[in-house]
Structure 1
Amino acid sequence: MLDIANHLKAIHREVRRGTTSGGETVTVLVRRRYDASVEDVWDAVTDPARVRRWFLPLTGDLREGGSFQLEGNAGGDILTCDAPRLLKVTFGGPSSIVEVRLTGNGEATDLELEHTVPIEIAQSGAGALFVGPGWDGALMGLALYVAGEAPEDPVAAANSPEVQEFNAGSVRAWSTAVEESGTATAEEIAALAQVSMAQFAPDVATP
C-alpha cells in the first residue's frame, strides 16, 4: 500500500522567478533523498532499461551532444552528461531546461531537479502547477524502484486511485509552494490548480 503522506512529505519544493540573458524565467525545484549510492541513482536515471521500470520507456542517442525521447512525453537534447553528478537536457523545447544534480551523502544520495522555462511559457509562478506534480510523481516512482517496490507497469500504475490521490496532494503542495514564493496571484494559483487537478487527478473528487 502506498504511503501517500510520507511520499509527499519527502519532497522539497520551490518556485522562483529569475532573469537570464534570454529574459525572465520561472523555475521549479524538487529535492529528495534516496537510500542508495550516487552511482546507483545515476544509473537508475540514465539507463533506459532501468528508467522504464520507474518512469517511461526511453530511447535516443544517450550521450552528451545526443538526444532522447520519452515515450508519450517530452524529448530533447542532452547538453551535459557528467556522471554521476550532473545531467542537463532540453525538455520539450530548446528553451525548456531540466537539470538533475546528484550529491552523495554517506550511503544515501540527494537528487535535485530544476526545470526552467521562459515566463512566456509559464505566464507566472503558477505555471509550476503544470509540471511540478509530474516531477513529484517521477521522484516517487524512483523511490519505489530503489526500494524494490516498483509496480510491474509504472505507466499503468500512474492512473491508479492511489497515485491519483498522491497527485491531488501534490497539486495542493505545489499551490502552497507557489503561494509562498510570491510569484503568482491567488487567482492565478486557483485557476491553474483546477487545470492541474483535472490533468493529474481527474478521478479524485475535489471540494
Structure 2
Amino acid sequence: MSRIAPTGRREARDGTSYVAYTRTFAAPIEDVWAAVTEPERLARWIGTWSGDPASGAVSFRMTAEGEDVAAETYRIEVCEPPRRLVTHSGGTGPEDPDGMVWQLELDLVESDGVTTLTFAQVMSDPSVAESVGPGWDYYLDRLVAAETGRDVAGVLWDDYYPGQAGFYRSAFS
C-alpha cells in the first residue's frame, strides 16, 4: 500500500481520456507560472529545458531522474501566460522509441492570493496509467515541496510506486 494517497482522477475532455491533478499554492499566479515554466525553477523539482520557445518547441530533460536521461523535444501547442500551457512530445521520433505521445496541459487560476494548478496528461494508453499516475503525483508533490521551501529530496518515489499503481490501473481499465 502506498504511503501517499493518489490524487489523480480520470477525466474525459472532448472524448479523450486524461489523468488530471490539482495542487494549490498560497502564491500569485505569476509565481506559480514561473515555477512550471522557467528552467531554473523547473530544475528544483523535475528538470529543465533549453531552446527558444518562440520557435514552437523546446528540449526538455528530466534531471530529477538522474543525469543519463535523454532530452525530449516538446512542441508548444498553446502558451497563454500565466494561465495555460499545452505541450506534447513523442510518438514520432527518437525521443520516445515506444511511440507514446506525452500531451501535457497546465491550467492556472488565482483567487484571493491562492493559485490552483490543474495538471493533466492525455492517457491514450491505459496500460501505462499504473506508472504515469504515481509519477505525476510524485513530481507534483516535489513541485509543492520546492515552492513551500521544503527539501524535495524528502519526497520519495517509493512512497508512490508501486503502492499507487493499482489505483491508477483500476481508474483507467
Query: What is the TM-score of this pair, normalised by structure 2?
Result: 0.75
Aligned partner (choices 22, 34, 47) of residue 43 of structure 1: 34
Structure of greater Rg: 1
**Relative contact order higher in (CA < 8 Å, ≥ 6 apart):** 2
Between the aligned partners of 2:117 and 2:13, the Cα distance in structure 1 is 22
Q: Paired residue for 1:105? A: 111
Aligned partner (choices 19, 27, 49) of residue 58 of structure 1: 49
Q: Cα distance 1:58–1:143, how it changes in 2: closer, same or farther (>3 A)?
A: same
Gaps of 5+ in 1: 152-156, 185-207
The answer to which structure has the higher helix fraction is 1
Aligned partner (choices 162, 165, 178) of residue 158 of structure 2: 165
Instruction: Give 3-state SS (helix, strand or coil) of 2:53's partner.
Output: coil
Q: Cα distance 1:36–1:57, how it changes in 2: closer, same or farther (>3 A)?
A: same
Q: Paired residue for 1:31? A: 22
Q: Cα distance 1:136–1:64, how it changes in 2: closer, same or farther (>3 A)?
A: farther
Q: 1:60: how far off? A: 2.3
Q: 1:101: how far off? A: 0.6
Instruction: Give 3-state SS (helix, strand or coil) of 1:12's partner.
Output: coil
Q: Cα distance 1:38–1:17, how it changes in 2: closer, same or farther (>3 A)?
A: closer
Q: 1:16: how far off? A: 4.4
Between the aligned partners of 1:129 and 1:69, the Cα distance in structure 2 is 23
Q: Which amino acid aligns with 2:122?
A: T
Q: Paired residue for 1:130? A: 131
Instruction: Give 3-state SS (helix, strand or coil) of 1:40's partner.
Output: helix
Q: 1:74: how far off? A: 4.0
The total of aligned residue pairs comes to 157
Q: Paired residue for 2:84? A: 86
CA RMSD of aligned residues (A): 2.8
Q: Percent identity?
A: 25
Check conservation: 1:98, 1:114, Cα contact below 8 A: yes
Instruction: Give 3-state SS (helix, strand or coil) of 2:40's partner.
Output: helix
Q: Cα distance 1:99–1:172, how it changes in 2: closer, same or farther (>3 A)?
A: same
Q: Which amino acid aligns with 2:106?
A: V
Q: Deviations over 1:143-202 (max 9, x none)?
A: 111111234xxxxx4xx7x6033223xx434522543x4x41xxxxxxxxxxxxxxxxxx
Query: What is the TM-score of this pair, normalised by structure 1?
Result: 0.64
Q: 1:49: how far off? A: 1.2
Check conservation: 1:76, 1:93, Cα contact below 8 A: no
Q: Which amino acid aligns with 1:149?
A: R
Between the aligned partners of 1:139 and 1:165, the Cα distance in structure 2 is 15
Runs of 4+ off more than 6 Å: none
The answer to which structure has the higher strand fraction is 2
Q: Paired residue for 2:74? A: 76
